[in-house]
Amino acid sequence: MLEHLWMGLQNVLMVKNLLLIVAGTVSGMVMGALPGLTATMAVALLVPFTYAMNPASGLALLGAIYMGCVYGGAFSAILINTPGTPSSIGTTFDGYPMARQGRGEEAIVGATVGSAIGGIFGVIALIFLAPPLADIALRFGPAEYFWVGVFGLTIISSLSAGSFLKGVVGAMFGILVSTIGIAPIGGDVRFTFGSPAMQGGVDLIVILIGMFCIPEVLTIVSKGIGGHTAVEYHRTKGVLWETTKKVLVQRANLIRSCVIGTFIGILPGAGGNIANLVAYNEAKRASKTPEKFGTGHLEGVVATETANNAVVGGGIIPLVTLGIPGAPPDAVIYGVLMLQGLRPGPELFAERADITYTFMLALGAAALVMVPIGIYGGRLLTRFVAKLPVRYLVPGIGILTIIGSYAIRNNFTDVILMLGFGVVGYALRTLGFQAAPIVLGLILGPIMETGLVQAYLTGQGYSWPWLALFINPISWILIAMSILSFAWPYFGSLKQLFQKPEGLGSGNGE
Amino acid sequence: MKASTRDRLGSILMLAFVAALWAQRDYMTPFGGIFPDIVLEIMAGVLAVTLALSFTKYAAVKEAGEKKEEGGKTNWKDMAVVGGILLAWAVLLQFLGFALTGIVGFGSISWYLGGMPRDIKDIGRCVLIGIAIVVLMLVVFQHLLEVPLPPGKIFE
């Protein structure tokens, strides 16, 4: 293995490949920052550029785009409360409040350092843990995927600030919206209200853009501050080193988020969109100051951005070992491997190990390249957005939301739906329903439905078909984790009940 | 708005959504309805509980613990105008194309949000900025990324 690693390193350090990695990272970051352009779309858009390249260079370019794109989503999440990619949904929770408090640079630096650490961790896991971890993921059947979805939904207890019941309702609303269109099993056309345009379902990105951007635009406008700026900016001396130090001392948060990102990346079908929310939830639960989450807390930004970049390496693990894409952009990379005459799977290590390791190390190099480019580029962007008056920011976001929702499927109905979901999102927010549980339901809905119905079908041989959901021991582990995750916030309340009241001055952190 | 009113209004609207989907149920196979039916039933149950609780102490306790809303009054007029322009922009996109709707949409919102007194001369500047933004978007999306943007039916 060391011999192949060395060969891969030599390939990556070639001037041509290094330039491709830099170009790919920058392009990925720009595309990731544009709402509506997902990592999958960015990787797919640039596939034609790799046709004329040798496999190692082509894969190095795509890997760098992927890594840069996942990170780039943080810029718009932090600066305009719009996740550039679904992997940055959680980054809006604390990143945008930080930007509004004039701490945008701190959030960008935190996201950059976290992304780089997560990206490198994912690549190390990819290199050393690929075969054993992929084996565990392969044991997941439909029932286990259903329980993974249920486990994901237990995050609601943490995401639903204010009312838990409203969080549950919001998640169910998201799940139901995800069922619009053709059923994944059986092919039933559901809840289209007779419109053929709805048969393809509602695209997640369309809803994401609508529910996160439009309510924010309406809120900014409703404040009547057209001539002013939406985001504050305070120049802070030494923000780069101070924030880097603040991130590096969060060892537990970094390690936990890296592990979550890598593990979720390995699960086929689950990607950064789930990993960032799970990591945010776990960071909040483990924090000594969970009440600060959602108010502009650096730990939240670090958790989400570390996890979503760790997904990149994790998602490639099943791709290169089993030929199963871990996350949607990996499916595009799968296609490129096939185009280049390489068969994804164990043979890749045996027959073209040089190319495989070049690809892996290129991902690591991209994670490193992100740091200087992201820090300086991101800080410039923060200053630019902070100086931009609302009168230009609002139509600027408008134009991006329209392009973003249209470009996904070249469908005009999507643009109208995006606006419709935006208005619904604003109304729901006014009524106390937060966007995050709704989005979580949208993401987990299809995974849960496919798992549940497939498990039901496989259980036809039993006297009670639903028994299939409880047979595998992994299911029981996931059920136990879900119960624990659901009940965890209430343990804190119980503990407080049994604790003696502390004296004044004991809780000031000194 | 009071927390209890929000709970009641939110629950009723969501119940209407559940009812609308329930009325749409028309499955051709035994599998299409398994999952959505379970979710619809649970959601209706949770909404009933939320609605019932809004008439009890639960809502009042929450009201007391609530944070005060940020900022001052909501400017409904500006919100309606900008929302209306965005809607017109989206509806006219397929007929007038990205370039024309983009310039008019960007220009009109930025001019409207320019504050009082609105200067008619300011329109020229807003339109020019709109043209620059639209050209930039066309270059980036249409030419560099090869993402086709709608030319507009009347220009086809």
Q: Give which of B42, B86, B104 to mutate to test A binding, by max A Cβ within 10 Å.
A: B86
Q: Give which of B35, B40, B106 to mutate to test A binding, by max A Cβ within 10 Å.
A: B35
The residue range of the domain holding A331 is 2-489
Q: How far is A82 from A73, CA to CA, in rounded Å?
A: 9
Does residue A445 lie in a domain region? Answer: yes
Per residue in A242-269, is it b (16+ CB within 10 Å) or e — as a string?
A: ebbebbeebeebbebbbbbbbbbbbbbb
What per-residue confidence (pLDDT) applies to A493? 60
Q: Does B134 touch chain A (CB under 8 A)?
A: yes
Report chain B's terminal Cα–Cα distance, integer Å. Answer: 49
- CB distance B32–A187 less than 8 Å? yes
Nearest CA in chain B to A434: B10
| Residue A189, beta-bridge partner list | A182
- CB distance B32–A214 less than 8 Å? no
Nearest CA in chain B to A49: B145
Does residue A496 lie in a domain region? Answer: no
Q: How far is A459 from A464, CA to CA, in rounded Å?
A: 7
> pLDDT tens digits, residue range B48-79?
999 998 888 766 445 444 444 444 577 888 89
Does residue A278 lie in a domain region? Answer: yes
> Residue A198: its chain B contacts at CB < 8 A?
none
**At A490, is the pLDDT very low, low, confident or very high (cuts 50, 70, 90)?**
low
A·B CB contacts under 8 A: 196
Q: How crowded is residue A381: how many other Cβ atoms within 10 Å of its Cβ?
A: 20
Helix (H, G, I), strand (E, B) or coil at A482: helix
Answer whether A448's CB lies under 8 Å from A178's CB.
no
**At A248, is the pLDDT very low, low, confident or very high (cuts 50, 70, 90)?**
very high
Q: Does B82 touch chain A (CB under 8 A)?
A: yes
- CB distance A419–B93 less than 8 Å? no
Q: Does B99 touch chain A (CB under 8 A)?
A: no
Given a cut of 90, whether residue A102 has pLDDT beyond it is no
**At A73, is the pLDDT very low, low, confident or very high (cuts 50, 70, 90)?**
confident
Phi and psi dihedrals of A104, rounded to 5? -60, -40
Tokens 């491997």 -> residue: A337
CA distances from A303 to A437, B21, B96 (A): 18, 37, 44
Q: How far is A232 from A167, CA to CA, in rounded Å?
A: 30
| Residue closest to A458 by CA, chosen among A449, A467, A446 | A467
> pLDDT tens digits, residue range A456-481?
999 988 888 899 999 888 899 889 98
| Residue A229, beta-bridge partner list | A389
What per-residue confidence (pLDDT) applies to B13? 94
**At B105, is the pLDDT very low, low, confident or very high (cuts 50, 70, 90)?**
very high
**At A113, is the pLDDT very low, low, confident or very high (cuts 50, 70, 90)?**
very high
Question: Which of A15-19, A37-41, A83-87, A208-212 has the highest mean predicted lDDT (pLDDT)?
Answer: A15-19
> Residue A226: its chain B contacts at CB < 8 A?
78, 112-115
Tokens 């959505």 -> residue: B36
Answer whether A110's CB lies under 8 Å from A302's CB.
yes
> Model ipTM?
0.88
Helix (H, G, I), strand (E, B) or coil at A229: strand
Instruction: Kindly state the percentage of chain B with pLDDT values over 70.
Output: 87
Per-residue pLDDT, averaged over A246-253, amounts to 92
Give the number of C-alpha atoms closer than 13 A to the C-alpha of residue A208, restricted to the C-beta side. Answer: 30
Phi and psi dihedrals of A431, rounded to 5? -90, 5
**For residues A510 and A127, which has the higher predicted lDDT (pLDDT)?**
A127
Q: How far is A341 from A59, CA to CA, in rounded Å?
A: 12
Put simply, the chain A residues between 214 and 273 with a CB less than 8 A from any chain B CB are 214, 217-218, 221-224, 226-227
Per-residue pLDDT, averaged over B108-132, amounts to 86
CA dihedral for A138, A142, A143, A144, sign (positive or negative): positive
**At A159, is the pLDDT very low, low, confident or very high (cuts 50, 70, 90)?**
low
Average pLDDT of the residues of chain A: 81
Does residue A245 lie in a domain region? Answer: yes
- Element holding A190 (H helix, E strand): strand A189-190
Does residue A474 lie in a domain region? Answer: yes
DSSP strands (E only) in A12-72: none
- CB distance B87–A419 less than 8 Å? yes
Given a cut of 50, whether residue B37 has pLDDT beyond it is yes
Per-residue pLDDT, averaged over B111-135, amounts to 86
* Range of weakest confidence among A21-30, A226-235, A481-490, B83-92: A226-235
Smallest Cβ distance to A395: which of B36, B94, B110?
A: B110
Report chain A's terminal Cα–Cα distance, integer Å. Answer: 51
* Range of weakest confidence among A106-115, A147-156, A181-190: A147-156
Helix (H, G, I), strand (E, B) or coil at A67: helix
**For residues A445 and B120, which has the higher predicted lDDT (pLDDT)?**
A445
Per-residue pLDDT, averaged over A358-378, amounts to 86
Does residue A497 lie in a domain region? Answer: no
| Number of domains chain A contains | 1
- CB distance B46–A452 less than 8 Å? no
- CB distance A394–B150 less than 8 Å? no
Per-residue pLDDT, averaged over B12-19, amounts to 95
* Range of weakest confidence among A254-263, B25-34, B136-145: B136-145
Given a cut of 60, whether residue A507 has pLDDT beyond it is no
- CB distance B32–A407 less than 8 Å? no
CA dihedral for A86, A201, A161, A80, sign (positive or negative): positive
Distance from CA of A305 to the nearest CA of B (A): 25
Does residue A501 lie in a domain region? Answer: no
Q: Does B64 touch chain A (CB under 8 A)?
A: no
What per-residue confidence (pLDDT) applies to A416? 93
C-alpha dihedral (A436, A437, A439, A443), degrees to nearest 10: 130
Rg (CA), chain B: 24
- CB distance B147–A191 less than 8 Å? no
CA distances from A218 to B74, B75, B77 (A): 10, 10, 11
> Interhelix angle for A204-222 vs A435-458, to 10°?
160
Smallest Cβ distance to A392: which of B31, B74, B110?
A: B110
> pLDDT tens digits, residue range A288-329?
888 888 888 999 999 999 999 999 888 888 777 766 666 767
Token reading at A223: 């404040």
Q: Does A428 touch chain B (CB under 8 A)?
A: yes
Token reading at A139: 């044991």
| Residue A452, beta-bridge partner list | none
Helix (H, G, I), strand (E, B) or coil at A270: coil
Token reading at B47: 């909404």
Answer whether B153's CB lies under 8 Å from B95's CB.
yes
Nearest CA in chain B to A414: B90
> Residue A468: its chain B contacts at CB < 8 A?
none
Per-residue pLDDT, averaged over A406-410, amounts to 81
> pLDDT tens digits, residue range A2-53?
777 888 888 888 888 899 899 888 888 887 777 656 677 677 767 767 767 7
DSSP A375-425: HHHHHHHHHHHHHSBHHHHHHHHHHHHHHHHHHTTT-HHHHHHHHHHHHHH
Nearest CA in chain A to B75: A222
Put simply, the chain A residues between 387 and 416 with a CB less than 8 A from any chain B CB are 390-392, 394-396, 398-399, 402-403, 406-407, 410, 412, 415-416
What per-residue confidence (pLDDT) applies to A509? 31
Preceding amide of A184 cis, omega within 30: no
**For residues A410 and B64, which has the higher predicted lDDT (pLDDT)?**
A410
Residue A208, C-beta contacts closer than 8 angstroms, at least 6 positions apart: A35, A83, A86, A89, A439
Smallest Cβ distance to A190: which of B10, B32, B149?
A: B32
Instruction: Kindly state the percentage of chain B with pLDDT values over 90.
Output: 51
Put simply, the chain B residues between 34 and 63 with a CB less than 8 A from any chain A CB are 34-36, 39-40, 42-43, 46-47, 49-50, 53, 62
**For residues A454 and A230, which has the higher predicted lDDT (pLDDT)?**
A454
What per-residue confidence (pLDDT) applies to A224? 64
Does residue A234 lie in a domain region? Answer: yes
Phi and psi dihedrals of A189, rounded to 5? -95, 120
Q: Does B96 touch chain A (CB under 8 A)?
A: no
> Residue B134: its chain A contacts at CB < 8 A?
399
Q: Does B135 touch chain A (CB under 8 A)?
A: no
> pLDDT tens digits, residue range A176-202?
999 999 998 888 899 988 888 788 888
Predicted TM-score of the model (pTM): 0.72
Smallest Cβ distance to A163: which of B62, B112, B115?
A: B62
Per residue in A441-470, is it b (16+ CB within 10 Å) or e — as a string?
A: bbbbbbbbbbbbbbbbebbeeeeeeeebbe
> Residue B47: its chain A contacts at CB < 8 A?
169
Distance from CA of A430 to the nearest CA of B (A): 8
Q: How far is A308 from A28, CA to CA, in rounded Å?
A: 14
- CB distance A391–B113 less than 8 Å? yes
Put simply, the chain A residues between 60 and 119 with a CB less than 8 A from any chain B CB are none
